[in-house]
Amino acid sequence: MNRIIMHVDMDAFFVSVEVAEKPYLRGKPVAVTGSLTTRSVIATASYEARKRGVHSAMPLFTAKKLCKNLIVIEARHDKYVAISRKLVAIYNSFCPAVESFSIDEAFLDLTYTVKDEREAVMLAKKIKALIKNKFNLPLTVGISYNKLLAKLASKLGKPDGLFVINERNRDRVMDGLSVEKISGIGEKTARLLREKFHVNTIRDLKKVPLMELYAVFHSYALFLHNAAFGKDSTPVIPDYEKPQEKSVGNSMTFPFDTSSWDYIKRAFKYLAEKVAMRLRMRGLFASTVVILIRYADFRTISKRKKVFATNSTDAIYFEAISLFKTVYNGRKVRLVGISVTNLSEGVPLSLFETNDRSLKIDEALDKVKLKFGDRIADYASLIDFEKKQV
């Protein structure tokens, strides 16, 4: 029995969320970035901006050179997460087997939900219409008999489309495509395929014997060979069956290299608040705090420490600063980061690390930010810091 797999991919998700709230942005080149400093990178760009060469992971200063009238918006991560959860809830209302692939993508195993491909297409149209009506967000749906081809189908259906790959049209659809269209084949792999085997298209890749691929790509060769023929047995793993999240973290690249102790402390406070809020929103507690420091010469070091299980902003900040003091050499810093690991659920806060007052402050800030956005309220020490980021 062939599986029926649906891949749902929100179109330019972060930008689309902003456009839905600010309709005057529609049809304009828009990009969402981690911060408004020129040293930031593009998180996602509207299709109008993409036509001018702007793409994800591009440095902001490069994007502005390519697109002089680019409208840049600072990311509101908590807003996007909140909408993403609501989208997943919609998918689950139609199908019990939903795997969140990223904040804006999901796989649905419809094998036991619909009778055939025709019903799957009808269901896809219902989901698209519901999300359009409820959130005014565009999305593309790909349908096939495995995850690899369902994801390829959604790529081919963009933007705001619906595309089906089945056994009847598979070769006709795939053969002429560049190998980079296959998820899992990046620029480096594609370059090696061209250099070693003169492979440009999926049709070319089919012609390369498996053992020759092994000589260059080793264990990865089997994936390349199977992908060329549209083979993939990877199951859809529902979110409730996934192993628990292993870490939560945030980092920040400064707008300028600095050795200012006050500035660095404010950055750590800002990051601690972000990380702690993400823990609280997931009902998680962390038992290890890790810091990352990248100096102006790009030398990077990290340091970790085990702590009492916590999701307190103050506790994470205190440990991060303590770790920083043990390794900092006085040189100018380019980037700092905080991550937490050894996560668990339902562990009480240590009395040593926090108190009722600080916990209530954390929870109050969480509620305000979830309602009005994560920039509406913050610790007084961060207000000046955020102004310096603009």
153-192, pLDDT tens digit by residue? 999 999 999 999 999 999 999 999 999 999 989 888 899 9
pLDDT at residue number 240: 82
pLDDT at residue number 341: 92
The encoded tokens of residue 389 equal: 């980021």
pTM assigned to the model: 0.68
Q: Give the Cα separation of 219 and 210 in Å (integer).
A: 11
Lowest-confidence region among 42-56, 174-188, 240-254, 361-375: 361-375
Q: Taking the domains of the chain in order of start, what are their residue ranges?
A: 1-173, 175-228, 247-389
Long-range residue pairs from 156-165, CB within 8 A, at least 24 positions apart, any chain: 156/181, 158/9, 158/11, 159/11, 159/12, 159/47, 160/11, 162/121, 162/124, 162/125, 162/128, 164/117, 164/121, 165/230
> Between β-strands 284-295 and 333-345, what pairing exists: parallel, antiparallel or unpaired?
antiparallel
Q: Are 333 and 294 in contact (CB under 8 A)?
A: yes
Q: What phi-psi label fits residue 76: left (phi over 0), alpha (psi between -120 and 50 degrees) or beta?
A: beta
Domain topology for 247-389: Dna Ligase; domain 1 (3.30.1490)
Architecture of domain 175-228 in CATH? Orthogonal Bundle (1.10)
pLDDT at residue number 351: 32
Q: Which pLDDT tens digit goes with each residue over 285-316?
A: 899 999 999 998 888 999 999 988 888 889 99
**Active site members:** 105
Identity of residue 8: V
Domain topology for 1-173: Alpha-Beta Plaits (3.30.70)
